Chain A
Amino acid sequence: MTKMQFYGHNSMDFEAPEDLLPGRLFVLEGTDGVGRSTQISLLRPWLESSGFAVVDTGLRRSPLVGKGIDEAKRGHTLGPLTMDLFYATDFSDRLENIIIPALRAGFIVLTDRYIYSLIARATVRGANRDWIEGVYSLALIPDAIFYLKVDIQTLVRRIVPRGFDYWESGMDLRLGDDLYDSFVEYQKQLLKQFEQMKDTFHYQTIDASRSIPQVFAELQKRIEPLLPLE
């Protein structure tokens, strides 16, 4: 069971924090292009065929804020603080209205990124670490966090076919002259942040430079013992 435990405040005033939720919360984390969504698209049918109901969620999918963030990102006028808080609103909306209700109803929740990417991004953009961690102290502690890790060279090879994106390349930070230079520098800084957070948040590192089936097999192996018994 997912223990009703938050990183900091139970700001949302949920019932007794020691409540146990019958579902499970699994997080897939990692930088852009590490294959998180591919793995979720494999995990979901696997879990469902074993009889578990699954909800998957990810950044900007909040009915409240998702559209607003997309629109704000289209023009390049989104300041770093505003972006951090827009994403925090998106996160909280999904936490309160999707993730927690699903866990209560006994669903397995797979989330493509959680607070760690958001903390990493905010920190790279100059936010104070205590501040952003304080904002996300309302997050529920997941049952397991899998950090899909690849080196920067592998990452670049994977991104090339789909093209470099303005925000994924951190172009707002002007870290390089073009999308490629900026992407490499930005992703390097994110990787560094993920490394630094490893001990604070206790995530399990998965070597994601291997093939898709290999990574999937490892995730299955790690998730299986954590599933509810039939």
Chain B
Amino acid sequence: MGFQFAPIQFPGRLFVVEGVDGSGKSTQIALLRQWLVNEGYTVFFSEWNSSPLVKETTSRGKKKHLLTPTTFSLIHATDFADRTEKWIIPPLKAGAIVLADRYVFTAFARDAARGVNSEWVHNLYNFAVQPTVAFYFRTPLDVSLSRILGGRAELKYYEAGMDLGLSADPKESFKLFQKRIMEEYESMIEPFHLTVMDSLAPIQDQQRLMRELVEPHLSGLYRNAPTRFISGRSGSPRGRSKERSL
């Protein structure tokens, strides 16, 4: 494998969600965020491909089909670097919780699916901070395909992997490309200790499990008084137990 995260430790915690489009990971991390905020934690949310400095370049490249597998890889690494320097490391240093919707694994999977040398890509990203827990939302290929193809009128060029020339038909290309990406994710589970989530399970069950898995990592973090709701169930996996209230 040969990948090393940056050899640095921060007082904060980093939880990331990974998986193909349509796996429900964004829904789950939004619910996790809501729970953590209500529980009184300081939370920062960071999304893939969101750096304002890099955004225009990426969209220009995508719109005009200027990107090769190498520059596709590099522009996303640039975006990730900006987010790491500005929005991931500082909150972690401050002892906050950072939630990331997609992380380096997205890059590893996509770049490998585009045929970029993995060793080179792993070196490229070795400034990344190691996540506390990385959740991988596993979705069977046909489910993810029907979720995306069913809900969207048109597939975007790079999203469908059209740059690879796998097929002239965007849908067909998308299927082949998604299959490759999934295979890459599967191969990363073991070496990267990804926590596999069943994205076919009911949303509430997935969320309950996620909270259970996150909770043990929260001890020692700064916490405000939790927000109490008058009605409705508590978001805590075991219910709000007496010994945990402040």
Interface size, B (range): 20 to 34
Interface size, A (range): 20 to 34
A134-B57 CB under 8 A given contacts A12-B68, A85-B74: no
Mark out the residues of chain B between 14 and 60 whose CB falls within 8 Å of any chain A CB in the assembled complex: 51, 53-54, 56-57, 60
Nearest CB of chain A from residue B122's CB, rounded to whole Å: 9
Q: Which of A71, A93, A96, A97 contacts B56 (CB 8 A)?
A: A71
Bound: A11/B119 CA distance, A: 9
Q: Which of B53, B86, B120, B123 contacts A72 (CB 8 A)?
A: B53
Main secondary structure of the interface of B (DSSP, over half): helix
A65-B57 CB under 8 A given contacts A12-B68, A79-B85, A81-B81: yes
* A96 pairs with B68, CB closer than 8 A: yes
Bound: A80/B81 CA distance, A: 9
Bound: A138/B115 CA distance, A: 14
Nearest CB of chain B from residue A70's CB, rounded to whole Å: 11
* B120 pairs with A137, CB closer than 8 A: yes
* A64 pairs with B81, CB closer than 8 A: no
Nearest A residue to B114 via CB reads A13
Residues of A within 8 A of B74 (CB): 85, 88-89, 92
Whether B158 sits at the interface, judged by CB under 8 Å, is no
- 13 residue pairs of the A-B complex, CB under 8 angstroms, read A9-B117, A9-B119, A11-B70, A11-B116, A65-B57, A67-B56, A68-B54, A68-B56, A68-B60, A77-B86, A79-B85, A86-B54, A134-B120
B residues in contact (CB < 8 Å) with A:
51, 53-54, 56-57, 60-61, 66-71, 74-75, 77-78, 81-82, 84-86, 115-117, 119-120, 123-124, 126-127
